[in-house]
Amino acid sequence: MNAIAFMTANYVARESGWAIGGWAGGDRDVNAIYAPLDTFAERFGGLLADVRALGFDAIDLGARI
């Protein structure tokens, strides 16, 4: 059975207070929030905890490489 995954892209606007000026602005805000390596684990762990609290066991994590 396939898991129903939470799409982390749903939270792109969250980092700018739900007020982005387009996808590029949201992308910049998210990258800025997660860029510092010394706080990445804490911030990403918080995201995972929020998603788990919503009842999801899987995430869809888009990545730009």
Spell out the per-residue pLDDT of the chain, length 65, in tens: 888 999 988 888 887 788 887 888 888 888 888 899 999 999 999 999 999 999 999 999 876 65
Residue 43's contacts (CB-CB under 8 Å, 6 or more residues apart) are: 33, 34
List residues bridging with 6 in a β-sheet: 59
- pTM for this predicted structure: 0.76
Q: Measured between alpha carbons, how far is 38 from 57 in angstroms, rounded to an integer?
A: 26
Would you tell me how many other CB atoms lie within 10 Å of the CB of residue 54? 8
Q: Measured between alpha carbons, how far is 28 from 45 in angstroms, rounded to an integer?
A: 20
pLDDT at res. 48:
94
